[in-house]
Amino acid sequence: AFAPGRPVQMCHVSYAGGRFNPSWVSNGPSLWHIVFRLMCEPMNRMSVDFGPIYEPNEEEKEDALLYSRRVRENMAKWFGLLKTSHSYDDVRLQALASKMHAPLNNAVIGADSIRRFFHMKLDDIQAYYKKFQEIGPNSDGLLSQEQFLLGLGIEDPEKSVEWARVFELLDEDGDGFIDFRVYLIGMAFANTELDNEDVLKAVHQIFDSDGDGFLTLQEFTSILHNACPSDELYTPRSIKEIFERVDENKDGKIAISEFTKYCSEHPKISESFHLWRKNFQIRPLPGVRTKLAGGGAGAMISPTPSDFRADSKEAKAPEGKAE
């Protein structure tokens, strides 16, 4: 229970030693199935750990959302738990996926953090999702390069090498497919005005393939190979050395704060990311309506409807679809 403006007793409930995870999620077993499985166990072990009582300050008493975020952050820190950005927006996106008979797991993208970072509305994300489904992903909810280009009205990839390159940039693991989360971030990345710190955060999100808020060594390697080209050869050893320097708290993963701090202290790397972003800024294609951000030949393009804010100002965009 959570009462805005009132002290909160932090506690952590965990089940250990069982052969069944009793956590309920919308895409998992039903509640009755979970109850039945628990009743079939010879014994169910549960532990409750109590943390300190969190007292809100005056600012937190006036802002319930700020208070809830800080309580959440303190609980994660106190109990050593992973904090994700999943929210009710993901549930609503899953509801849309269910109506469209699409894979529900592919609709869990950490929508709240993406929405806040790119100043988007949930309606914008849902519009992108509908367009993504119209393009025709496979049964796993993944989009191939051919489908991506066909969704833009491009039947011959050779006629748009630039858009094919955009797909390659989004396909960070090189398997020839992208999911909705990567598609969404990539298109928003191309259409939103970002300062240096925001560009770094966006790069972190694009290559954070599992969306857990951290970069693994493998994900960091993808950044150096794809988004940070250099004359020097990045060997596995040199990449690991850089990774360990960026990972200040030595927990084996790189948080956004660690990533942005290191890159800000190394302007050459930040500059590389800005140059990499220009790959998303390409000439409009005949017959494809686009959203222009800056105008001219280097205008940024979105193949989907959007109505999200750039620099806190509303900017309507026409539908980006082949006519």
Among 21-30, 94-103, 123-132, 248-257, which is the least confidently predicted range? 21-30
Residue 296 reports pLDDT greater than 80:
no
Residue 106 reports pLDDT greater than 90:
no
The tokens of 217 are what? 């060594």
Q: Decide which of 191 and 115 is more confident.
A: 115
Residue 72 reports pLDDT greater than 90:
no
Residue 319 reports pLDDT greater than 50:
no
Instruction: Tell me which residue of 295, 278, 312 sits closest to 189, measured CA to CA.
Output: 278
pLDDT band of 293, cuts 50, 70, 90: very low
Summarised one tens digit per residue, pLDDT across range 118-154 is: 778 888 889 889 988 888 888 888 988 888 887 767 7
Residue 53 bridge partners (DSSP): 9
* Contact call for residues 246 and 264 (beta carbons, < 8 A): no
Q: Are strands 254-255 and 214-215 parallel, antiparallel or unpaired?
A: antiparallel
pLDDT band of 230, cuts 50, 70, 90: low
Q: How far apart are CA 299 and CA 280, in angstroms?
A: 9
Residue 35 reports pLDDT greater than 50:
yes
Q: How far apart are CA 74 and CA 298, in angstroms?
A: 44
Residue 301 reports pLDDT greater than 60:
no
Positions of E strands within the chain? 8-16, 45-54, 143-144, 177-178, 214-215, 254-255
Summarised one tens digit per residue, pLDDT across range 53-63 is: 999 999 988 88
* Contact call for residues 35 and 79 (beta carbons, < 8 A): no
Report the pLDDT value the prediction gives residue 158, as an integer from 0 to 100.
67
Report the pLDDT value the prediction gives residue 115, as an integer from 0 to 100.
81
Calculate the alpha carbon distances from 91 to 34, 109, 180, 306 in Å: 20, 10, 15, 21
Report the pLDDT value the prediction gives residue 281, as an integer from 0 to 100.
52
The tokens of 272 are what? 């590389």
Torsions phi, psi for 226 (to 5 deg)? -105, -45
Instruction: Tell me which residue of 158, 161, 163, 130 sits closest to 148, measured CA to CA.
Output: 163
Q: What is the mean pLDDT of residues 274-299?
A: 45
DSSP letter (8 states) at residue 227: I
Instruction: Tell me which residue of 293, 61, 85 sits closest to 191, measured CA to CA.
Output: 293
DSSP letter (8 states) at residue 176: S
* Contact call for residues 60 and 70 (beta carbons, < 8 A): yes
Residue 313 bridge partners (DSSP): 310
Report the pLDDT value the prediction gives residue 323, as an integer from 0 to 100.
34
Summarised one tens digit per residue, pLDDT across range 240-252 is: 999 999 999 999 9
Summarised one tens digit per residue, pLDDT across range 186-224 is: 777 766 667 778 888 888 877 887 777 899 998 888 887
Q: Decide which of 291 and 220 is more confident.
A: 220
Report the pLDDT value the prediction gives residue 183, as an integer from 0 to 100.
85
Report the pLDDT value the prediction gives residue 53, as an integer from 0 to 100.
92
Q: How far apart are CA 320 and CA 187, in angstroms?
A: 11
CATH topology of domain 88-280: Recoverin; domain 1 (1.10.238)
Which residues contact residue 284 at a Cβ distance below 8 angstroms, ignoring those fewer than 6 apart?
A: 290, 299, 301
Instruction: Tell me which residue of 149, 152, 123 sits closest to 302, measured CA to CA.
Output: 152
Instruction: Tell me which residue of 244, 241, 265 sits closest to 253, measured CA to CA.
Output: 244
- How many CB atoms within 10 Å of residue 63? 15
* Contact call for residues 116 and 80 (beta carbons, < 8 A): no
Domain boundaries defined on the chain: 8-79, 88-280
Q: How far apart are CA 83 and CA 90, in angstroms?
A: 15
pLDDT band of 26, cuts 50, 70, 90: low
Q: How far apart are CA 42 and CA 21, in angstroms?
A: 15
Report the pLDDT value the prediction gives residue 86, as an integer from 0 to 100.
72
